[in-house]
Amino acid sequence: MIYIHIPFCKQKCSYCNFHFSTSLNFKDEMLALMKKEIFLRKDELQNKNLQSLYFGGGTPSILSPDEIKSLIDEALKYFSFEKDIEITLEANPDDLDKNFLKGLADSPINRLSIGTQSFFEADLKLMNRAHTASEAEDSIKRAQDFGFENLSIDLIYGSPTSNLEIWKENVKKTITLQVPHISSYALTVEPKTALENWISKGKVNSPKEEQNQEFYYLSDFLKDNGFDHYEVSNFAKPGFYSRHNSSYWKYKEYLGIGPSAHSYNGFDRRSWNVANNQQYIKKLNSGLLAMEEEFLSQKDQFNEMIMIGLRTIWGVDLISLNEKFDSEMLEYFHKEIKSKLEEGILIIKENHLKIPEKHWFMADGIAADLFMV
């Protein structure tokens, strides 16, 4: 699978620390060099038959449909696409007007991930989103009108501008709009963001520390309405799981194109492009990759397998674990899980180690307790 990072946005959200630029001065050159990177790295993926292609960012919907199509065409020069390939575009609601959607409907894009975040104006203003509450709702309806059924939206809970009742309305709205996939995250204060600055100056309150109520309401309500809670932060109707993200969680290989994009060989090598547009452009113009890499030790691989697996409905495959790691590591692992199995914080089902869903809110902490250092 391939991930393409589009490093441009109209404006900076107050909570975001992803890599992007609000200047489009070098957009054309950037897109040309991303195509060059696809060519230079075409042999990195063992599997040339792609099951998913994902445009993330930044804001990929800042591109025109023709620009998006040209990147897809470039990938098609070196890779084949599965007949039912999932091609996802992350999009902001304010970009999804009729002209843009018409162009997208004529492209291979078949899944939209819409950065809704909230259907309430106060939340959106705090987050410095470019869209309004009405645009959030209207963009979903328009996308559906243009034939996009495979939709996902992002929702953020725990904002100081929100409360449990507002959150309930946000979640109910997604059911009313018949959205089949939801990714939902707690608002966190990342370093060097506007939100961190506002909080430090007392301009806004910190996000609520206790967010269990919002999390469990979300999970219970969505399950009651036919959703599967298949990863800690992700919910989907049957048949609408994110194929791309599920591949990450199952340790499949992937190729990341564009500034700050990460890649993984499915085993022991991870690489990432420089998170700087000018450095990326300079390197690629010189015929070089703007990339760093690391080789994962056995401990690194073990910790990643535990961390990722315990966040999903599938859990950690114990047969794979036993095949991959030596007896000393396995002895440590079985010793560490013993007390948690007795407490019911962990369970083993059909050779998979899992966290019961009622404890998923603590998944990262539980996994961290099992890490090898």
The b/e string for 293-332 (b: 16+ C-beta within 10 A; e otherwise) is eeebeeeebbbbbbbbbbbbbbbbbbeebeeebeeebeee
Q: What is the pLDDT of residue 20?
A: 64
Tens digits of per-residue pLDDT, 327-355? 999 999 999 999 999 999 999 999 999 99
Tens digits of per-residue pLDDT, 359-369? 988 899 999 99
Tokens of 173: 């709205």
Q: Cα dihedral angle (262, 82, 321, 355), rounded to 10 degrees? A: 80
Nearest to 167 by CA among 224, 208, 225, 115: 208
Q: What is the pLDDT of residue 210?
A: 65
Write the CA distances from 287 to 31, 45, 276, 370, integer angstroms.
15, 20, 17, 43
Backbone dihedral angles phi then psi of residue 8, each to the nearest 5 degrees: -135, 145
Tens digits of per-residue pLDDT, 246-263? 999 988 999 999 999 999
Helix, strand and coil in the chain, % to nearest 5: 45, 20, 35
Tens digits of per-residue pLDDT, 64-104? 999 999 999 999 999 999 999 999 999 999 999 999 999 99
What is the mean predicted confidence (pLDDT) over 271-282? 95
Backbone dihedral angles phi then psi of residue 189, each to the nearest 5 degrees: -95, 105
DSSP state of 130: S
Q: What is the pLDDT of residue 25?
A: 83
Tokens of 27: 């957009």
Confidence check: pLDDT of 108 > 90 = yes
Confidence check: pLDDT of 202 > 80 = no
What is the mean predicted confidence (pLDDT) over 198-227? 83
Q: Tokens 């645009």 belong to which residue?
A: 135
Q: What percent of the chain shows pLDDT beyond 90?
A: 77
Q: pLDDT class for 209, splitting at 50, 70, 90?
A: low
Q: What is the pLDDT of residue 204?
A: 73
